[in-house]
Amino acid sequence: DTAVSQTPKYLVTQMGNDKSIKCEQNLGHDTMYWYKQDSKKFLKIMFSYNNKELIINETVPNRFSPKSPDKAHLNLHINSLELGDSAVYFCASSYGPGLQYFGPGTRLTVL
C-alpha cells in the first residue's frame, strides 16, 4: 500500500493554463507539505498544513494555492502557469515532530 501518493505523475501543459496536483497519505499523519524540486535538485518547501490548517507559507507566488479538505489530503492548485513553474513537485507527510515521508513526485512541464 502506497503511503503518500500523488496524481498525476506527469503533467505537461501550456503556459497560462490552470492545473492541480493531488496528494493523499494513508499514514494517519497530522502534517502535510508541498516541496518544489528544481533542475538542480534543490528541495524548496512551499507550504505545510497541520490538521487542515496552513502553518508554513513560504515566499511563493500567489498563483499557487494549497487546499486541504481533510488531514489525509493536500492538493496544490496552480493558476496561470509559467515556464519557470516547470519542476518536480513533492508532497510529504509527518506525524508530530517526526520525520517526513515523501510521495513519488509530479513532474510538471510548462510549454
Q: Taking the complex as a whole, how short is the minimal distance between the CB of residue 85 and other proteins, in angstroms?
A: 19
**63: three-class secondary structure by DSSP:** coil
Binding-residue pattern over the window 38 to 77 for other proteins, x denoting contact by CB under 8 A: --xxxx-x--x------xx---------------------
Distance CA(109)–CA(83), nearest Å, equals 8
Tell me how many residues contact other proteins (CB under 8 A). Answer: 23
- The residue from 46, 94, 108, 110 that contacts other proteins (CB under 8 A) is 94
Burial label, 7 (beta-carbon count in 10 A; 0-12, 13-18, 19+): middle
